[in-house]
Amino acid sequence: MPHRANEDIEVKKIAGSLGAEVSGVDLRNIDDATARQIRQIFLEHLVIFFRDQHLTPQEFLDFSAKFGKPVEYPLVKGIDGYPEIIEVLKRENETINFGGVWHSDTTYLDVPPMGSILLAREIPPYGGDTMWANQYAAYDALSEGLKKLLDGLRCLQSSAKADASKTREDRLKESAKEDRRDYAVWHPAVRTHPETGLKALFVNQAHTARFEGWTEEESEPLLQYLYKHQVKPEFTCRFQWRPGSIAFWDNRCAQHYPINDYHGFKRRMHRITLAGDVPR
């Protein structure tokens, strides 16, 4: 028997390429049918947003578990009592923000995450927005010749790449795990989404080092072209946070970029990462 949709849920696109605000639902209390409905909205829009969801850590974890398995972040300790929830913090006196480069999360793992869920706790009076970019659209917009080349390539994803230093929170020593190490793995440059069957560009500026069988010097011109191409304005959306706002994005087909334009103010978020699958 088909499950009846929650008719209170409203979906409003925030940009042409990806991103939608979802309203009419209290995330502290969603049943399985509503969770399935939200997942379909998530798959369609790549990143979805909720407002005024002031969840406790346990409620945040319970909500996230409706959509996958929360896993510990590989390089940063979780908050007290909740190893799966990390704090993403920029203090008033800091100038570098966590993850301050376009990227997909932890693509240097054998099994990169399916998605990430970010909950705003403290927000500066202005700035601190986050942008996302649609990697289905980025792939689709490539020439047929370049698609054919990339479809046959694998790329090295590394946590040790210089550009990744902005995503590793080395500056917050109290947040670093004691068993930190560098990770590296080969993944396809173009992956097929396991749920939608669509192809997405799967290189990113933070973690992609080179193509398999190519030197770094040979790889660099093509990678630089792709980095610029995949975040063209027409592929992106931008979200303005408020305390209690939640963003839930698909790490398999969307990149994100936290904008660092709020020096002198504090920005504190909680994030949960959901287990994914091996890119194919």
Cross-strand bridge partners of residue 22: 11
Among residues 45, 103, 207, 270, which one is catalytic?
103
In the annotation, is 256 catalytic?
yes
CB-CB contact of 89 with 172 (8 Å) = yes
Cα–Cα distance for residue pair 150/139, rounded to 1 Å: 10
Number of H helices, E strands in the chain: 5, 16
Cα–Cα distance for residue pair 79/65, rounded to 1 Å: 17
**Per-residue burial over 99-113, b = 16 or more CB atoms within 10 Å of its CB, e = otherwise:** bbbbbbbbbbbeebb
Cα–Cα distance for residue pair 170/152, rounded to 1 Å: 35
In the annotation, is 271 catalytic?
yes
Among residues 210, 252, 256, 267, which one is catalytic?
256
Alpha carbon of residue 251 to chain centroid: 5
CB-CB contact of 183 with 74 (8 Å) = yes
In the annotation, is 103 catalytic?
yes
Among residues 187, 210, 270, 271, which one is catalytic?
271
Q: Which helix (H) or strand (E) element contains residue 60?
A: helix 57-65
Among residues 105, 207, 252, 267, which one is catalytic?
105
**Burial environment of residue 231 by CB neighbours within 10 A (0 to 12, 13 to 18, 19 or more):** buried
Q: Which residues are catalytic?
A: 103, 105, 256, 271
